[in-house]
Amino acid sequence: MSTRSRSNPGGARLLDMGEVRPFRDRKPEWFKRPAPGSARYRELRGMIEGQGLHTVCQEAACPNIGDCWERGTATFMILGDTCTRRCGFCNVKTGKPTHDDPLEPLRVAQSVRKMGLRHAVITSVDRDDLPDLGSTAFVGVIRSIRRLAPGCKVEVLTPDFRGEEMPLARVIAERPDVFNHNVETVPRLYPLARRGSRFLRSCRVLRNAKEMGGDSVVTKSGLMTGLGESKEELIETFGVLRQHGVQVLTVGQYLRPTRDHLPVVRYWHPDEFAELEREAYALGFESVAAGPLVRSSYHAEQTLAQAGDASA
């Protein structure tokens, strides 16, 4: 009998992944990064923790946290730290959310201003329990940042809002600079890695966001490697995203957060990421970031500028 867990979502069997890397596996040398510890990093960490806010940079133990914070980019996670879905790769806890903080948008905007950010990424857990699916909170944060830190670009990284158009329209009406929704993996692996989500539904969210926002909103998505996908599957997925109007693409290596999460099938080499980047540009993406340590917010300000140049 199978049981439901992150590594076994909905009864999916790890045997279906074939040969996988052990949890205590030694990572290739290209994953080595110095631990963040600059005075600027410590200052910003203290500021965020003092406000009682959550950042994906910290929650996901992102290897780029020091680099991004020094560059003036940070990713805030709103609507609490408990998700209503259970993706096999994600380190955010799953359960029944209780978070309800009407002042959170203002506190996020105040932190953006105090941190002197040039590019703020706003994401959230899935909140399928809320009538508006969390969209109103995104609206509040965008408005607050526009008011308190008007020089800061705003990127939203949203859930799929279950494919409903009204929550999406509510967010796009605020004209974020970037609308990001990650498809995360190739369609074949959705039953294993993204239980509760559907690949084509996520693609439709991206297409609808572009149609609603027009030229004023740049659309973006991201994928992971390392769960058993092939190069051909990745390139095919890139093509579907382009067909749905996605302009910016990020591709990075999945790293297993805990023993309870899906295992890594293999580590992709930096040369393979360079090849994926070339293939993506050939398909017409305006900006692509692909590499072992690339995450959705990696060099977000630069990729937005690159997309703007390509559209000009």
Cα torsion 144, 146, 147, 151 to 10°: value is 130
| Closest-CA residue to 229 (of 262, 261, 260, 188) | 188
Q: What whole-number distance in Å separates Cα of residue 188 and Cα of residue 6?
A: 17
In the predicted model, is pLDDT for residue 90 greater than 90?
no
Instruction: Give pLDDT, residue 8.
Output: 61
DSSP label at 130? S
SS3 153: strand
Q: What is the pLDDT of residues 138-191, one digit of tens each?
A: 999 999 999 999 999 999 999 999 999 999 999 999 999 999 999 999 999 999
In the predicted model, is pLDDT for residue 236 greater than 90?
yes
Which amino acid is located at 197 in the chain? S
Please report which residue ranges of 149-287 form alpha helices under DSSP H.
165-172, 190-193, 199-213, 231-243, 270-282
CB neighbours (10 Å) of residue 26? Answer: 8
Instruction: Give pLDDT, residue 9.
Output: 54
DSSP label at 11? G
The band of 49, judged by pLDDT with boundaries at 50, 70 and 90, is: confident
Instruction: Give pLDDT, residue 3.
Output: 47
Q: What is the pLDDT of residues 268-289, one digit of tens each?
A: 999 999 999 999 999 999 999 9
Supply the DSSP string of 50-116, one letter for each residue: HTT-EEHHHHTT-TTHHHHHHHTEEEEEES-SEESS--TT--SEES------TTHHHHHHHHHHHHT
Contacts of residue 207, defined as CB under 8 A and 6 or more positions apart, other chains included, come to: 244, 245
